[in-house]
Structure 1
Amino acid sequence: MDSNPSNTSSMPATEKWTEIEHLPEWDEEFYHVYTAKKFGKWLMLKTLRPELKGIPEYDQMIEKEFEVRYNLAHPHIIMINDFEEVPGLGMCIITDDVYGDSLAKLIREGKVTEDHIHKLSHQLVDALDYIQTNHLEHHPLDPSRIIFTENVGNLKLIDVGFDQKSHITPKDASEDIENYGKVLTVALDAIGTPHPHLRKVAERCLNPDQSRRYRDISSLRLALADRKPNTIYIAIITFLVAMIALLLWLNSPYRPTPLSDIEPSIKTESTD
């Protein structure tokens, strides 16, 4: 969240749940978001908007999101702890709390640093790789869904995984890469440092021609690191091609005559 909450809601609470506070700036299309203490530990709560509660379609939607996200485990994605009834709110998805600032807020306040850029180039890419590997459907990546924690500044991606597919399509992967390019561009604009290499990477991510973008996260990662594919693999392939060519030549009519075939004819001529 953008700041450590201190106001206590007048909403009913038990000894288990205290200091429940609505966070309007975190609300989503179908959800209200709260912070609260559970047995004294700060957590975040996500529950259906009041007008959607009790409608089977939306009740199933929040249950599905819990099921999809509950088994996720990645250091740069907010994890879900539970799905339970909270006094005054109803059924809530319970997640770890996030003390810190969103990238959107850092951009607004002119507080983007080189460290943030570095983490967007590494930690965010790691999170995207995990999302694609697990075939997670998710909202488009944008600065409001990227949080940097208060103390150590780790990147955390929120609101990830409302459904899971059997596979992701090239279009899905390309859209992730395009949205990553948008995020990197606005962050670079905010910091003001040239970063010509990162600008070039972002521009390719945003290429209107999908076929000219990076084909996958691995290619994007190599580009961000300014590395070519590992030369050892190129060397191995070159060696194998050379060996195959040699074997084909040795088994062709053009191969040299073995010495063992020449010696008998020489001996015969000497005897004559």
Structure 2
Amino acid sequence: MTRIGRYRIGAAIGEGAMAQVFLAHDPSIERTIAIKVLRPELRGDPEVVQRFLKESRAAGMLSHAHIATIYDVGQSDGIPYIAMEHVDGDSLETMLTHQGRLTTERVLALSVQIADALDFAHRHGVIHRDIKPSNILITDKGRSAKLLDFGIARIEILGEARAEREVSRTVVGQIMGTPRYMSPEQAMGLPVDHRSDLFSLGSVIYEMTVGKPAFPANGLASLAIQIAQGSPIPIEQAITDCPRGLRFVIAKLLAKKPADRFTSAAAVRDVLKLELEAVQQDRDVRRRGLAMRTKLSLTMAATAAVALGLSVGFVLDSQKSALETMALTSASSMTSFVARNVGVRMAENADLPVAEQDWLPVQAFAETAAAQGNVRLLTVADEGGVIRAADDKALIGKRYVARGASDAAIVGDKGFRITRTVRYAGHNFGRVDMVIGRGALDGAMRTAEILLFALSLFVVLVVAAVGYFSARQLSAPLRRLNKALTDVAGGNTAFRISHRRRDEIGSLFDTFNDLVEHIELSRNPDATGDGPVSDATKIVVAPTLPLKRRVA
């Protein structure tokens, strides 16, 4: 088989009980698609053909980011086919087989998408009735889910009478839906509504979470009994890292009675979104975290330390640059002063024979200048490059080796090197080379660093203390609220929290009181008013806000 209608058929990419799936090409729009064709042995049964093509009438109505799109449906040369979107990815069944259970965050992210797709289908009157891992394709590197294969979907808008006729056609042994993931009402051959899909979704989420099917029995009869009457292994016994909220969602989805499940796929999606947000917020928090007062103080201290570190670094760098500029200016002035004072004597010696030249005054001046505390090197060379005066007398008479251009200033780790040309009456008579030490500057910088570090440490400690005591102020009412909630969870609703707060905590206390009142009223509709204040809350009653007494 190389062609069906206008589609060129490629390699087989999937196979099911009713159909085979091939990769195909639509030349009219130059698009790669997937084409599903009914198995040859089933093409002679009109009812099977009708059921097969019903997928197009169901899924063809749906255009959703997480539902595989149906492009075309028809028959060509007696071969029923459905042309659909080609989704490049693996089925959830394949992923679970190769990878095992998924992380909680991935389970929630994919479940939100599947629930959203089901909500869209249900709002358009389509019940899938065959939610299972092999009908969910995972794309985009595991980040996106696509729901497909509405082959046994029922269209709600057909009407109740026609739906009953559809159900009556199903006899024992021909239950529609994959047995391992079908709902109890499907297992017993009863009419189903959208809540059947929610049970199947719960089975899929359970398997993604635990890594094993919720109902692992073998054989159709045993499996039907297990689904209708049995319960899956509790998740907390199978794994230890499943959040309590997700366990609640799965348990509610797997309720035997449809009335005990969520009312809609939209409700499932919304609660899963909240759980996903909670998991993402706590992603980097260890299971046994620090107390809030400790975390808040550490966070504030760390933030202050980073801010102060950047600020102090900037200040020290600016100060260092400014001090170096000042020191370089001072060194340049001193070198120029020496050059001016030796200029007259060097000019006189330049006009004399070498034997008559007198360099003792120049040496005396050089020694006097070198006696300054910061001068680490001083040499005076004549125009011929011979050193005539130096702080180190051993250098006198030797050749001067220039280190850089004349009239240059070089900043180094050991000091500031300044060279100046000796000029007199517009002529050059030699060079002065001087190195000024930077010990005083480095000492000043170290003192500044110590002082700024001490100041920064003081500020960080103050910020940490403020954060700690602020958190303690917040922790106290939260502990009271937690104790009150624990009392309510234990069945005690005969108390209220009284307070004088007008902030967010006060609003939280008021909401708690309203909740307890509603719980009491739901238990005893004839009861009104508030109960006594629990001693466990230890919150002083405001004289201006007396508690209401219970009406007998």
TM-score range, shorter chain: 0.5 to 0.7
Q: Select between 37-46 and 59-68 the one with higher mean Cα deviation.
A: 59-68
Is the 8 Å Cα contact of residues 139 and 159 (structure 1) preserved in structure 2? no
- Tell me which residue corresponds to 1:101: 90
- Tell me which residue corresponds to 1:217: 265
Shift of residue 150, structure 1, vs aligned partner: 4.1
For residue 206 of structure 1, the aligned residue among 248, 251, 254 is 254
Shift of residue 73, structure 1, vs aligned partner: 0.8
For residue 138 of structure 2, the aligned residue among 138, 148, 167 is 148
For residue 45 of structure 1, the aligned residue among 8, 29, 35 is 35
For residue 155 of structure 2, the aligned residue among 164, 176, 180 is 164
- Tell me which residue corresponds to 1:29: 17
Cα distance change on mapping 1:152 and 1:179 into 2, 3 Å = closer
- Tell me which residue corresponds to 1:180: 201
d(CA) in 1 for partners of 2:121, 2:109? 17
Cα distance change on mapping 1:41 and 1:181 into 2, 3 Å = same
- Tell me which residue corresponds to 2:108: 118
TM-score normalised by structure 2 residue count: 0.35
CA deviations over 1:99-154 (Å, ceiling 9, x no partner): 11111111111163455313233211111111211121323211111111145732
d(CA) in 2 for partners of 1:218, 1:63? 28
The letter for the 1-side match of 2:85 is: D
d(CA) in 1 for partners of 2:264, 2:74? 38
What pairs with 1:50-61 in structure 2 (closer than 5 Å)?
Answer: 50-61=40-51
SS of residue matched to 1:224:
helix
d(CA) in 2 for partners of 1:174, 1:163? 13
d(CA) in 2 for partners of 1:189, 1:118? 13
- Tell me which residue corresponds to 1:74: 64
Cα distance change on mapping 1:125 and 1:54 into 2, 3 Å = same
The letter for the 1-side match of 2:40 is: P
Cα distance change on mapping 1:70 and 1:186 into 2, 3 Å = same
SS of residue matched to 1:32:
strand
CA deviations over 1:15-45 (Å, ceiling 9, x no partner): x64452223xx32332222122233532111
The letter for the 1-side match of 2:271 is: A
The letter for the 2-side match of 1:106 is: M
Matched, 1:190 2:184: no
Structure 1 unpaired stretches of 5+: 1-10, 228-234, 239-272
SS of residue matched to 1:43:
strand
RMSD across aligned C-alpha pairs, in angstroms?
Answer: 3.3
TM-score normalised by structure 1 residue count: 0.67
d(CA) in 1 for partners of 2:45, 2:256? 40
Is the 8 Å Cα contact of residues 53 and 80 (structure 2) preserved in structure 1? no
- Tell me which residue corresponds to 1:251: none
**Percentage of pairs with the same residue:** 26
d(CA) in 2 for partners of 1:152, 1:185? 18
Is the 8 Å Cα contact of residues 252 and 260 (structure 2) preserved in structure 1? yes
- Tell me which residue corresponds to 1:264: none
The letter for the 1-side match of 2:202 is: G
d(CA) in 2 for partners of 1:222, 1:66? 29
SS of residue matched to 2:25:
strand
d(CA) in 1 for partners of 2:59, 2:272? 28
d(CA) in 1 for partners of 2:3, 2:197? 40
Shift of residue 210, structure 1, vs aligned partner: 3.5
Structure 2 unpaired stretches of 5+: 164-190, 213-238, 276-510, 515-552
Is the 8 Å Cα contact of residues 34 and 86 (structure 2) preserved in structure 1? yes
Shift of residue 66, structure 1, vs aligned partner: 2.2
d(CA) in 1 for partners of 2:82, 2:145? 21
d(CA) in 1 for partners of 2:270, 2:62? 25
SS of residue matched to 1:109:
helix
Is the 8 Å Cα contact of residues 62 and 121 (structure 2) preserved in structure 1? no
Is the 8 Å Cα contact of residues 127 and 154 (structure 2) preserved in structure 1? yes
Is the 8 Å Cα contact of residues 120 and 184 (structure 1) preserved in structure 2? no
Q: Which has the higher contact order (CA 8 A, sep 6+)?
A: 1
SS of residue matched to 1:72:
coil
d(CA) in 2 for partners of 1:69, 1:221? 20
d(CA) in 1 for partners of 2:40, 2:103? 39
- Tell me which residue corresponds to 1:257: none
d(CA) in 2 for partners of 1:72, 1:175? 19
